[in-house]
Each structure stands twice: as structure tokens, then as C-alpha cells.
Structure 1
Amino acid sequence: MEPRSPDRRRSLLLTGMTDVVTRCRDFTRDALVDWKWMPGARDDSEDVLLLVSEVVANACLHAGGPRTLLLECTDDLLRVEVTDSNPVAPAPRSRPDPARPGGYGLLIVERIARRWGTVPLADGKCVWAEIDSPLRSPDARGPQPVSW
């Protein structure tokens, strides 16, 4: 008998939760460990944790707080979805003000994610991002973004 593979789809209800960014990072880290993304693929897993932090923090700062976090892992990619109650789609600032902290969240998401976007919902929106799986062969992953 073959061992059952870990659930490749995880969701976390965030409404009313405190310390949301930390909890989402911990939840994501646990999923990545179960899915064998860590510790061998440390750079990829750190990218995922940063991506989750940025999308969740943006929902906290600009959308009244996140409602749910969904992680879905396939052999090719990890999809991160965060829902909130604000229907306004996020847009990266073309030139963040260097005199003020912040403003770089979506620029970071654009650098890390293979692709990202938003889906309007009846009561808000879903911001999603996809990142290549470290389990995917390097040839199939295509060109990788240049590191900063």
C-alpha cells in the first residue's frame, strides 16, 4: 500500500484573527514542509513566505484585512490566494516614495511570482499569485527572474 500524499490544498480563515501576517507565514511554512519544499529548496520557500507576507500585509493595510488564505500546490506551481472585502484591485506604485516606508509590496510580488492578478468577488476580491515549484525540473521552469 502506497502512503497517502499530504493534502495539496490548504485554507485558513483569517476573519477576526490577530497577528495575521505571522500566522499566515507559519501556516504556509507548515504546508511547505509537508509538501517537501523545505529545507532543500530554502530559497524557493523563503520566496513563498515573502510573497504570502506581502499579499496578506497589503490586505491588512489597504483592504480592511484579509478574510482567507488558500494555498494550492501542484507538481508545477504553488498558488496563493488571499481574499478581502475591498473590491478595488491593487496596483503597484510606479515610483514608491523613498522618504516613506512601504510601497514596495506589489513590486516584490511581481518579482517573485510567475504571474499574479485579482478576481472580483461579490463581496470583495481575491488576490492570487503563482510561483514555480522547486520540484519542477530546471529546464521546465523557464527563465528565472534576476535577483536584486
Structure 2
Amino acid sequence: MDRTDLAAVSEVRCALREFLRYRWRVEPAEVAELLLSELVTNALVHTGRGAVVTVSVVPAKLRVEVRDFVPAMPLSYVPNADDGTHGRGLILVQSLADAWGVGAHALGKVVWFELDGERS
């Protein structure tokens, strides 16, 4: 995916939904879709160099990683009322994920989150 392909965000959400359909309960799967779309959108808009998504499910844990190809770490940002919907992606991740983080990667960085829950 690259910056010009923001339509790919909905495709990634659909792929995650299909992947989780028989592996995970509905509520955490919906949260995962929302958080994934926020991270992918951030990667596409703020780096302009595309992104790679990795999803893994182990008993009682879902991990989603979005890797981009720019080493600059995301800045902490507190949106104000005039920002509309801009600037709330990482706040959503921080609020809804059971764990999340950002780490350096050989060719950029990876932003990840985990959700705890029971498999379906």
C-alpha cells in the first residue's frame, strides 16, 4: 500500500475481518479493525512510503503490527477541538488496546497493538 492508495485501508479492514471471522469473538475483532485502520491510515498519510501489516492470533491474544519505511517515530500529539477528526489515531490505540508500542525496525518502524480476549 502507498499514500495514494488510502482506499486500501478498507481492504485491509475487510481482510482482517475475514481472517478473524472464525478465530476471534466479534467485539474485540471490531476493535481490532478500528485500530488497524487508524495505524494504516497514519502510516500512509504520514510516511508516504506504504506499509506492511502483520496479524497473529495466539490463545487469548491478538497482535497487529503495521510497519512503515520511515525511521522517524510518531510524535505525541494532543488534538484540540478545532482539529476535527485529525490526530486521534494513536489516542484511540492507547485507549482501546490492552498493550501497544512503537519500535525501530531495520528499514523504518513498527507500530503494534495487542488485544486480550477469548477465541470464538
Q: TM-score, normalised by structure 1?
A: 0.72
Q: Does 1:68 align with 2:68?
A: no
Which residue of 1 is the match for residue 102 of structure 2?
118
Which residue of 2 is the match for residue 99 of structure 1?
82
- Which residue identity lines up with residue 45 of structure 1 in the other structure? A
Q: CA RMSD in A?
A: 2.0
Q: Does 1:58 align with 2:58?
A: no
Which residue of 2 is the match for residue 25 of structure 1?
13
Q: 1:46 aligns with which of 5, 30, 36?
A: 30
Query: Aligned equivalents of 2:2 and 2:47: distance in 1?
Result: 13
1:112 Cα deviation after fit = 1.2
Which residue of 2 is the match for residue 141 of structure 1?
none
Question: What are the superposed Cα offsets for residues 77-100 of structure 1, whole Å, 9 maximum, x if unpaired?
Answer: 10001111111112331x302112
Query: Aligned equivalents of 1:65 and 1:110: distance in 2?
Result: 24
Match of 2:112, SS state, is strand
Q: TM-score, normalised by structure 2?
A: 0.87
Question: What are the superposed Cα offsets for residues 35-63 of structure 1, whole Å, 9 maximum, x if unpaired?
Answer: 1x2xxx33212111101011111101212
Query: Aligned equivalents of 2:58 and 2:4: distance in 1?
Result: 28
Query: Aligned equivalents of 2:79 and 2:4: distance in 1?
Result: 29
1:116 Cα deviation after fit = 0.9
Match of 2:81, SS state, is coil
More helix by share: 2
Distance change (3 Å), C-alpha of 1:23 and 1:65: farther
Contact 2:2 2:44 in 1 (8 A): no
- Which residue identity lines up with residue 100 of structure 1 in the other structure? D
